[in-house]
A and B are shown apart, each in its own frame.
Chain A
C-alpha cells in the first residue's frame, strides 16, 4: 500500500520546484486512478514474461515470486448460491481477473461440512462444454464438474447448488481527501469533507513508478513536454532494469 498523500506531495514538490505548474487534487485523483490501473495491469503482463524465463531460487530477488506476491494482495473469493446459471453481475464491479471456481458439497439439512474438500470446477469453452458432456468417459460429474461463462453467468454441469469464485479484485481508486482552507488552499484531511482517503492499493515497491507516471500525465496537463519526456524516460528505464 502506498500513501496517496506522500505521492501527491512528491509530485507537487517536483512540479513546483522550477515553478512549472500545479496539479489540483481532482486532477491528481483522476490521474492516480489511471496510473494505478496501468501498473496493476502491467503485473499480469510482467508475470507472463517472467513465467517464460528461467526462475532463480533466491528469497528476495525472484521476480516471478515478487510479482505473484504483488498480485496475491488482490486475490479474494466469494460464495455464490442459487444454482446454475450463477449470476456474476454482483461481482462484475469487483472482478479484474476471474480465477478458479470451486464447488463445496453442501446440504442445507446438515450443519457439518468441514470434512469435505472443495472440488475445482473446470473452465471450458462453450464448444468444449458441449463436447465433454457427450463423451461417456469425460461426462461431468459431481467429482469432476465443468463450467462455461456466458453473459456474466456461470453455467455448470452438473447443476451445482453453490460455487466459490476466486478472483483478482480491482484495486480501489486512490483518493487524496482534503478540505479547503481559509485562503482557499487545499489541506490534506484523511476524513476530509471532499472525498474519503484511499491510499494506492498496489505494492509499495511501485511507489517510484507511480510518481513518475503521474508526473508524465501532469506534464501533459500543464503542457510541459520536458516533464513528459523526462518522466516517461525514467519510467522506461526503471521498467527495463526490472525486466533485464
Chain B
C-alpha cells in the first residue's frame, strides 16, 4: 500500500467532496480537522451545493458548531438541506500550507511505532523494552538532531518597536542569525553586542547608605528595578560613536583625518565594530532581544532553532534522517541496558554515527549544479 492517502485534489486544493445524504462523513485529509476550540481556531469550513456538477458560485456555507462538528476527521452534519446534492469540506489556507511538503517528513509517533515493530521482540536485537523508554530516546534524539542536523531553523519577521526590544520567540532554543531587511528584501546581518554592552540579569534597588546595599521586600527578596540603566544608556547611544560612520550632515571632509576615515584607516578603528547594520543582545532578565537604536522601525528577521518538540505538529523527522533516528534510539537503549555486550554497544555506536553523518550530508543539500556554479566563480580573474 502506498504511503500517500490523500488524493491530489485534497492535497492541492485542500478540499474533499461528498454526495449529500449521510449523517457522518469520513474525511481523509492528512491534516487534522479542528473545530473552534479554546486554544485554536477552526481550520476548515463546510459548504453545500444544490447542483451536481456544482456551479462556481453555487456553494452555500454551513454554520460551524450549529450545522456541523468534527471529531478525528469524521464530519457530522446536522443541518437539514432538502435541496442539497453535494457537500464540500475545505481547509483554510494556513492548514493547506502546513500540509504542503508534508511527505518530506515522518511523524515521531510513526518512528516510535516502526521501531517497536522492527527492532523489539523475540529474536531481535532488543528483546524487550518499555515503550516509555523508546519515547524518551526518540524525543531526546529529535532534540539533539534539531540542534545541528535537521532543517529546523525557524524564522520570525518582526518590526523593531520604539522600545527596541522584542520577546524571544515561544519555541526558541538558540539563535542562528538576526538580520534587518532593506527595501528590496536583502538581508543585512546584525551582530551580537558581545563585549560592547550586556543586559544585567539582576537590577537590585540599592539603599542610599554608605555601602549602597540592595533593599528587600516584605518576603526578604531583593527589590528589583524595572529598567536597567545599562540598557537605557545603550538605547540612547549614538551608534556612530562606535562604528565611526560619517554623519551625512557633517561629512568631515575638512577634518584632517577625513581621508583616513574614508579608507578605513583611522587609528584605533575596531574592525568588529566597524559596521552599520546594528547590534542586538539578549536580555535574560526580561527574556527579550534588545536592538541598537539605529534599528528602530526596521524589519528584522530572527532565524533561530527550536528542539522540534514545542508543538505536536513539529514532532516530525525528515525522511532523510529516518534511519539515523532508528539507530539513535537503538544505540541509546542498548548502551543504557544492563548486561549488553560491549561489542554490541560499539557496533551500534558506529551505526548511529555513520547514519547521522549520512543524514547530515543529505540534509546539507549539496547539489552538483549549485556546486558547479560556485566553482565557476573561482575561475574568474581578479585584477589588483
Cross-chain contact B72 with A116 (CB below 8 angstroms): yes
Q: Chain A 92-126 against B: per-residue CB contact (8 Å), 1 yes, 0 no? A: 00000000000001010111100110001010100
A-contacting residues, B65-90, CB 8 Å: 69, 71-74, 76
The answer to whether A107 touches B132 (Cβ under 8 A) is: no
Residue of B nearest to A105 (CB): B72
Residues from chain B with a CB closer than 8 A to the CB of A238 are none
- Number of B residues contacting the other chain (C-beta, 8 Å)? 21
Knowing A122-B132, A137-B135, the reply to whether A110 touches B76 (Cβ < 8 A) is yes
- Among residues of B, the one whose C-beta sits closest to the C-beta of A54 is B123
Q: How near does chain A come to B129, taking the closest CB pair, in angstroms?
A: 11
Task: Tell me if B122 counts as interface (CB < 8 A to partner A).
Answer: yes
A residues near B109, Cβ cutoff 8 Å? 143
Chain A residues with CB under 8 A of B73: 115
Is A132 located at the chain interface by the 8 A CB criterion? yes
CB distance from B40 to the nearest CB of A (A): 16
A127-146 to B contact mask, C-beta < 8 Å, 1/0:
01000100101100001101
**Least CB distance, A159 to chain B, in whole angstroms:** 17
Residues of B within 8 A of A146 (CB): 132
Cross-interface CB contact of A55 among B72, B123, B130, B140, cutoff 8 Å: B123
Q: A51 on the interface (CB 8 Å rule)?
A: yes
Please determine whether A138 and B72 come into contact, CB atoms closer than 8 angstroms. no
**Do A122 and B24 touch across chains, with their CB atoms under 8 A apart?**
no
Task: Let me know if B26 is at the binding interface, CB within 8 A.
Answer: yes
A49 to chain B, nearest CB (A): 14
A112–B75 CA distance with the chains assembled, in angstroms: 10
Which residue of the partner chain A has the closest CB to B27? A115
Docked Cα-Cα span, A112 to B31, in Å, equals: 18
Chain B residues with CB under 8 Å of A120's CB are: 131
Query: Across the interface, which residues of A come within 8 angstroms of B135, CB to CB?
Result: 137-138, 144
Within 8 Å CB of A143, what residues of B? 109
Of A109, A128, A132, A143, the most chain B CB neighbours within 10 A belong to A143
Whether the pair A138, B132 counts as a contact (CB closer than 8 A) is yes
Q: Known contacts A51-B122, A143-B109, A144-B131; decide if A107 and B72 are in contact (CB<8 Å).
A: yes
* Number of residue pairs spanning A and B whose beta carbons lie under 8 angstroms apart: 48
A122 CB to closest chain B CB (Å) equals: 5
Q: In whole angstroms, how far apart are the Cα atoms of A120 and B135 in the complex?
A: 14
Residues of B within 8 A of A116 (CB): 72
- Which of A112, A128, A132, A144 is close to B74, meaning CB atoms less than 8 Å apart? A112
A112 adjacent to B132 (CB under 8 Å): no
- List the B side residues contacting A111 at CB < 8 Å: 23-24
Task: Give the interface SS of chain A, mostly helix, strand, loop or mixed.
Answer: loop
Q: A122-B130, A137-B135, A144-B132 are in contact. Are A112 and B140 (CB under 8 A)?
A: no
Contact partner, B71, options A109, A132, A137, Cβ 8 Å: A109
Question: Is B136's CB under 8 angstroms from A135's CB?
Answer: yes
Q: Nearest chain-B residue to A137 (Cβ)?
A: B139
Q: Mark B116-159, 1 if CB is under 8 A from A, else 0.
A: 00000011000000111001100110000000000000000000
Q: Chain B's nearest CB lies how many Å from the CB of A223?
A: 47
Say yes or no: B24 contacts A112, CB within 8 Å: yes
B130 partner residues in chain A, CB cutoff 8 A: 122, 124, 128
| Of listed B71, B109, B135, residue having the most chain A CB within 10 A | B135
Report how far A18 CA is from B109 CA in the complex, Å: 69
Instruction: Give chain A interface residues in 70-108, CB to chain B under 8 Å.
Output: 105, 107
Mark each residue of chain A from 17 to 37: 1 if its CB lies under 8 Å from any CB of chain B, else 0. 000000000000000000000
Q: Which residues of B contact A51 (CB under 8 A)?
A: 122
Cβ contact within 8 Å between A110 and B24: yes
Task: For A109, list chain B residues within 8 Å (CB).
Answer: 69, 71, 76
Give CA–CA (A31, B350) in the complex, Å: 60
Known: A111-B24, A112-B24, A137-B139. A124 touches B71 (CB 8 A): no
A109 to B284, CA, bound (A): 48
Q: Check if A122 sits within 8 Å of B131, measured CB to CB.
A: yes
Task: Decide: A137 and B76 in contact? CB cutoff 8 A.
Answer: no
- B72: chain A residues at CB < 8 Å are 105, 107, 110, 115-116
State A137–B137 Cα separation when bound (angstroms).
9
Compute how far the CA of A113 lies from the CA of B148 in the bound complex, rounded to whole angstroms: 41
Contact B71 A107 (CB under 8 A): yes
Residues of B near A112 (CB, < 8 A) are 24, 26, 74
A132 lies within 8 A of B26 (CB): no
- Within 8 Å by CB of A110, from B74, B123, B132, lies B74
| Nearest-Cβ distance from residue B268 to partner chain A, whole angstroms | 51
Measured CB to CB, the nearest residue on chain A to B113 is: A117
Within the complex, what minimum Cβ distance (angstroms) separates A44 from chain B?
15
Separation of A138 and B112 alpha carbons in the complex (Å): 13
Q: A105-B72, A122-B132, A144-B132 known; A137 and B123 CB under 8 Å?
A: no
| Chain B residue at minimal CB-CB distance from A116 | B72
Chain A residue numbers with a CB within 8 Å of B131 are 120, 122, 144
Contact with A along B23-58 (1 / 0, CB 8 A): 110100000000000000000000000000000000
Q: Is the CB of B71 within 8 A of A110?
A: yes
Query: Closest Cβ of chain B: how far from A215's Cβ, in Å?
Result: 37
Q: In the complex, which residue of chain A has the Cβ closest to the Cβ of B315?
A: A143
Apart from A137-B140, A137-B309, A144-B135, list 15 A-B contacts with CB within 8 A: A55-B123, A105-B72, A109-B76, A110-B24, A110-B74, A112-B24, A112-B26, A116-B72, A124-B132, A128-B132, A137-B136, A137-B139, A143-B109, A144-B132, A146-B132
Sort A-B residue pairs by CB-CB distance and give the 4 closest, nearest first: A138-B132, A137-B139, A107-B71, A112-B74
A sample of 7 cross-chain residue pairs with beta-carbon separation below 8 angstroms, ordered by A number, consists of A51-B122, A105-B72, A112-B26, A115-B73, A115-B74, A122-B131, A144-B112
